[in-house]
Amino acid sequence: MHPNDIVKQAHHISEPFRITDGAGFQLKSVDPGCTLHFDSGDKPEAKQALADGVAMLSALQDKLYAQDRWALLLVFQAIDAAGKDGTIKHVMSGVNPQGCQVSSFKMPSAVDLNHDYLWRCNNALPERGRIGIFNRSYYEETLVVRVHPELLQRQTIPPELVGKEIWKERFADIRHYEDYLGRNGIVVRKFFLHLSKGEQKRRFLERLDTPEKNWKFSANDIKERAYWDDYMQAYEEMIQHTSTPQAPWYVVPADNKWFTRLVVAAAVIDTLDGLDLHYPEVSADARSQLEAARRQLEAE
């Protein structure tokens, strides 16, 4: 497929799931099992679209790295078993590791807790010319900490600053932070992998029934599943309050892993294509030096 056709296809695949204004957004408006016009993961068209997308992403990333002006930050948030790791692995499979960095954020350490909640993520931001991936992120402070407010007690925040409006305040902080990143050439794109409760149950049972997948399962997964409704409300409000044209959320159907990967790849392609990336132009003086080097090599 011609590169221009791949870019057009990427836009059509990703655009239905892009949220730039979250006012009034409801999670129920997105079907976790949606696959657009693709019937199944075995459909040749879907497989070819993903293969074309991975190849196109590799080419765009090469220009991003060479140009060394922009950086791209991809933020992934999801409930357990939604497929974040697999999506990152498959979508970025064709990207040069030198131009990509993945950071996973789990339970904060004592050092992390002695800083503001953006601190550890800020230290992991991608350099210019690179793609940075956050597997979970500062958004955990509006999700797991909100569902389990006792975690706030572990943070060394003056008690008088922890009021009823703390979540709205954190949403505002994050919007301003992402605006700041954008004004410094770090393009932010955020992905919520929208998994149904039934599909999560099926994947948990698969992990229990498959010995080589047992390591993926934790007793804490079942404990957190009991808070499903609380998490869904937290995700919904997160999207409502932090979706902006500069840093949109993509609410990606996640019941079919192949489709999740296709949408994420399409969104990244659509974003990079919009940056007008190109290889650095060589000056006349530098070109003369290249010609001199060619003549010297050919004379050997």
CA distance 63 to 75: 21
- Domain range summary for the chain, segments of one domain joined by +: 3-299
**Per-residue pLDDT at 58 exceeds 80:** yes
Provide the pLDDT confidence category of residue 42 given band limits of 50, 70 and 90.
Answer: low
**pTM (predicted TM-score):** 0.93
**Whether 30 contacts 194, CB under 8 Å:** yes
Q: Write the CATH number of the domain with boundaries 3-299.
A: 3.40.50.300
DSSP states along 122-152 = HTTPPPTT-EEEEES-GGGGGTHHHHSGGGG
DSSP state of 283: P
How far apart, in whole angstroms, are the C-alpha atoms of residue 194 and residue 78?
A: 7
pLDDT tens digits, residue range 233-244?
Answer: 999 999 999 999
List Cβ neighbours of 266 (8 Å cut-off, separation of 6 or more).
Answer: 9, 10, 11, 13, 14, 53
- Are 219 and 209 in contact by the 8 Å Cβ rule? The answer is no
Bridge partners for 135 per DSSP: 76, 104
The predicted model gives 263-280 an average pLDDT of 95
Label residues 104-114 b or e (16+ Cβ within 10 Å = b).
Answer: ebeebeeebbe
List of residues 6+ apart from 36 with CB closer than 8 A: 13, 16, 259
pLDDT for residue 264: 97
Round to whole Å and give the CA distance between 136 and 112. 15
Q: What ranges in 132-283 are assigned the alpha helix state H?
A: 144-147, 166-183, 197-209, 219-225, 228-242, 257-273
Q: pLDDT for 170-209, tens place per residue? A: 999 999 999 999 999 999 999 999 999 999 999 999 999 9
3-state secondary structure at position 227: coil
pLDDT mean over 10-17: 96
Average pLDDT, the chain: 94
Closest residue by Cα to residue 17 from 4, 34, 41: 34
- Mean pLDDT check: name the lowest of 71-80, 111-120, 148-157, 220-229: 148-157
| The predicted structure's pLDDT at residue 147 | 97
What pLDDT score was predicted for residue 40?
62
Burial environment of residue 200 by CB neighbours within 10 A (0 to 12, 13 to 18, 19 or more): buried
In the chain, the amino acid numbered 223 is: K
pLDDT of 41 higher than 80: no
CB 117 within 8 A of CB 157: no
Paired tokens of 213: 């997948």
**Residue 180: how many CA atoms within 13 Å on its side-chain side?**
9
Q: What is the pLDDT of residue 284?
A: 82
